[in-house]
Structure 1
Amino acid sequence: MLRRACSTTIPSLEIVVLGSGPSSSVPVVRCLVTNPNCPVCPEALANPQSKNRRNNPSLLVRLKGQTVLIDCGKTFRDSILKAHKKHSPFAIDAVVLTHGHADASFGLDDLRDVQHVDPVSKQLKPLEIHCHQRTKDEVAEKFSYLFNTQHTGGRWTAQLQWKIFEDFDHFAISPEVKFQALPLWHGKDYIASGFLFGQEVGKRIAYLSDVSAIGEVAMATLKEAPLDALFIDSLHPEHYHGTHMNLIQALETIEQLKPRQSFLTGMSHQFNYHSPPALLTEFVKTKNISVEMAYDGMQLTW
């Protein structure tokens, strides 16, 4: 059963949405300067608690005693500070990356503040970064100083180690927790990863944050069993974008997969949380399929 944050029962699976916006985040700086009549950006700027205020797409997943971070983008530090207020201090046990773009990986340096510390040596314990080889190839050069290093000369950096998976692999976060990787088109010539997880507690959650199209094998994998929840990319309500789904495409995918609950993510400032697009409202009403706009700080428990 899906529960919201008000429950006092210890959940078997908890998801915190750290970010539900695009690479530029919301509010958009250019929009604030050039379009003061935008119904979203000025409101998001004026109200730090606004559900229109969106950081880079990211999830925090707590499952079987493990805390897993999906993506660590440019806005990670801000996202984790907001989450800290509501969800208590924590250390991250593993990171999984969807791809190597800035909005998914440029916060890796800030992981030093959320790593486990060895109680004897007082040094950071190495944190596993799970990704496909193509993502490692894109990220490794930018953050080479974080991998296979030790603290030297008083320099304090994150201590990270690569863990490589293949497309469709079930890769281990811990002996009790596994994720499955799905290749997704993120434009015509770029492949990102989506993930399936939750099987350890009898749930099936799909996270497809950066996708323009889903291949036949990945779609068949998603359809193998009912989805309890789907997080899916939806950059614009109707405008076509070459590397992201828009709302029309996202709803078409949702109709195919028929998850018990769906959440839109990666949303631009064209989405107003307080006034959802008519297309979304009509879809929910006529199809009787539950679809919501995610928001930063949203907490889901089962």
Structure 2
Amino acid sequence: MCLIQPSDPPCPVCSQSLSVPPERNPNYRCNASLLIDYCSNNGNHNYIIIDVGKTFREQVLRWFTFHKIPRIDSIVLTHEHADAVLGLDDIRAVQPYSPTNDIDPTSIYLTPYAMDSIATKFPYLVQKKLREGQEIRRVAQLDWKIIEEDCNKPFVASGLKFVPLPVMHGEDYICLGFLFGEKFKVAYISDVSRFPPNTEYVISKSGAGQLDLLILDCLYKKGSHNVHLCLPQTLEALKRICPKRALLVGMTHEFDHHKDNEFLMEWSKREGINVQLACDVVFVDELIESLKQFSVCTETLGCVQSSIFKSIHGNLIIWYGGWMKKSTENKELLTTTLLSMVTSMSSMAVLVEHGFFDAYAGESKDGSNAAKFSSGDIVSMNVISSSSNNDLNDVSYANLALFKSRFLKMEGATAGVCLKCQSMPRVASLYVWKSLLHCYSWILTSDYRKTMMPYLDRFSLSVKYDIFWVVYVSSENVQNYQIP
């Protein structure tokens, strides 16, 4: 309504949906759902989604393609309302094509009540056999599996165990949340007005044990609602349940992601629970969560800000910390300490490289003296490594010349920094982009490799390039790197 009958002045949150690309707009919100990339012990990935609501098709086109999600292996439903099930017909878009529907069905887990309701809404998805004379039509192939509204009756979907968490969604309706994860305990509860005592016990620190992450309903900023929690009740529930971290979902346009996260940051510091508003894409996995804890620990060692980059093309993750020079005087001791701190993550990832870099040049198109980015932004990085330590200064100058020759021509790049490694003959350039589209457009139209070679062909070098999604920044909404 804010867009088709705009107020004066216009709604600041809704109007952003027309002016800011979704990948840069955390106020752009589809129906609440959760996609789980479950990697089993044998290294296989299974993709499990909780709820497929009215905006499921948009989520597939916008986010599955962006993050290269190849399929859905299982579906788990919290309830049978429109915001959880009206995307079921579009499941066929993520299934193999067969004009005769001769494919393996996707398992879908739901309560008996939800099953009865969906059989009425989507009879053609539930029907097992064609009636005499009925034509074959391509529809989603689903294997319906009934689960119980009972915390003591877990089930397994695509290898991952889920514990049903029955909650009240209004006093006349039971909705399910779900608890999952072995080393990292996550509870997802998107539609709730009240917690039954048994359910609250299962997810509470004072009950069955503290959650690592609670994803929780939060409809309005003020007051109360008969079928949802609103911010006052959500925060009270968080104080009772006491998870290590919480993400709030289901917000209306009253909530501005940046402004209200500032309030939640202060609340988090006061209450000792890390709480944020979620946005359409939030990465939640053990490695990234461990790196966030690593970031907190590095602050005691002089790290003033840190961030985490995740490659959009693969599994490469970069942890990027900024130190004041006086905090890094004893590099060997600091390096040893940092390496000892990451040993706990050795079962989740392999540490490929590490080192300290100096920022020695850079520019920003807004005239500021810092390269700024925040969670959700796109950055690109190229790293140039020489086989000879004697080349470091020359390669640094070549990297700077390359940066200066192209930065102002890079449409959509907002800032860039040149970095020089202190311990190896290696330099890097980091660019911040308005969007992934701008980044790809530059790569495709600039003949990237050809423009680099005149600056670098006299050296014996290896060049690496990748594009990253900024999944975390510490301390503030904006990450700053001072430009010399």
Using the size of structure 2 for normalisation, the TM-score is 0.53
Shift of 1:280: 2.6
Alignment RMSD: 2.0
Quick check: 1:203 aligned with 2:184? yes
Q: What is the aligned counterpart of 2:56 among 45, 55, 76?
A: 76
Q: 2:27 aligns with which of 30, 52, 55?
A: 52
Match of 1:43 in 2: 16
Find the counterpart in structure 2 of residue 132 from structure 1.
111
Indicate if the aligned counterparts of 1:82 and 1:297 stay in contact, CA closer than 8 A. Answer: no
In the alignment, the residues of structure 2 paired with residue 191 and residue 254 of structure 1 have an alpha-carbon distance, to the nearest angstrom, of: 20
Question: What SS class does the counterpart of residue 276 from structure 1 fall into?
Answer: helix
State the SS of the aligned residue for 1:192.
strand
Aligned to 1:92: 72
Of Structure 1 and Structure 2, which has the larger fraction of its residues in helix?
2
**Separation of aligned partners in 2, 1:125 and 1:148:** 16
Q: Is the 8 A contact 2:184 2:212 kept in 1?
A: yes
Inter-CA distance 61–116: structure 2 relative to 1 (3 Å threshold): farther
> In structure 1, which of residues 155, 176, 180 is the aligned counterpart of residue 137 of structure 2?
155
Q: Distance in 2 between matches of 1:35 and 1:161?
A: 47
Question: What is the one-letter code of the residue matched to 2:122?
Answer: F
Q: CA deviation at 1:122?
A: 7.8
Name which of 198, 202, 211 aligns with 1:221: 202
Give the aligned residue type for 1:238: K
User: C-alpha offsets along residues 204-245 of structure 1, whole Å, 9 cap, x if unaligned?
Assistant: 100000001101010011121110111000001113111110
- The aligned runs of 1:10-49 (5 Å cut-off) are 29-30=1-2, 32-36=4-8, 37-49=10-22
Would you say how many aligned residue pairs link Structure 1 and Structure 2? 269
What are the superposed Cα offsets for residues 152-197 of structure 1, whole Å, 9 maximum, x if unpaired?
Answer: 74521101121111122201113x3211111110011111000001
Q: Report deviation, 1:279.
A: 5.2
AA aligned opposite 1:190:
Y
Alignment partner of 2:229 out of 218, 223, 245: 245
Aligned partner of 2:170 in structure 1 is 187
- Residue number in structure 2 paired with 1:123: 102
The corresponding residue for 2:455 is none
Return the letter of the residue paired with 1:191: I
Q: 1:207 to 1:89 in 2, by over 3 A?
A: closer
Which amino acid in structure 2 is aligned with residue 45 of structure 1? L
Report the Cα offset of residue 114 of structure 1.
Answer: 1.1
> CA, structure 1 residues 150+157, in 2 after alignment: closer, same or farther (shift >3 Å)?
farther
CA separation in 2, counterparts of 1:60 and 1:164?
Answer: 20
Unaligned runs of 5+ in 1: 1-28
> What does residue 172 of structure 1 align with?
156
TM-score of the superposed pair, with normalisation by structure 1: 0.83
Deviation of 1:30 after TM superposition, in Å, equals 4.5
Match of 2:274 in 1: 290
CA–CA distance in structure 2, aligned partners of residues 136 and 154 of structure 1:
23
What amino acid maps onto 2:157 in structure 1? I
Contact 2:76 2:110 in 1 (8 A): yes
Instruction: Tell me how far 1:298 sits from its aligned partner.
Output: 1.7
> Cα–Cα, structure 1 residues 241 and 122, in superposed 2: closer, same or farther, change >3 Å?
closer
Q: Deviations over 1:135-167 (max 9, x none)?
A: 112222111101244797452110112111112
What is the identity, as a one-letter code, of the residue corresponding to 2:51? D
2:47 corresponds in structure 1 to 67
Code of the aligned partner of 2:107: E
Q: How far apart are the structure 1 equivalents of 2:222 and 2:266?
A: 14
Q: Which moved further from structure 2: 76-85 or 105-114?
A: 76-85
More displaced 10-residue stretch of structure 1: 262-271 or 250-259: 250-259
Letter in 2 for 1:124: I
> Residues 92 and 116 of structure 1 are in contact (CA less than 8 Å); yes or no, is this contact kept in structure 2?
no
Instruction: Give distance in 1, aligned partners of 2:188 and 2:168.
Output: 14
Change (3 A) 1:43 1:32: farther
Does 185-194 or 275-284 show the bigger shift?
Answer: 275-284
Contact 1:238 1:248 in 2 (8 A): yes
**Higher Rg of the two aligned structures:** 2
Counterpart residue identity of residue 80, structure 1: V
Give SS of 2:47's match: strand
Residue 173 of structure 1 aligns with an amino acid whose one-letter code is A
Q: In structure 2, what residue type is equivalent to 1:85?
A: T
Q: CA deviation at 1:254?
A: 1.1
Moved over 4 A (4+): none
Percent identity of the aligned residues?
A: 38
Q: 2:239 aligns with which of 255, 262, 268?
A: 255
Is this contact kept in 1: 2:101–2:138, CA < 8 A? no
Does the alignment pair 1:280 with 2:255? no
CA distance in 2: counterparts of 1:51 and 1:45, whole angstroms: 13
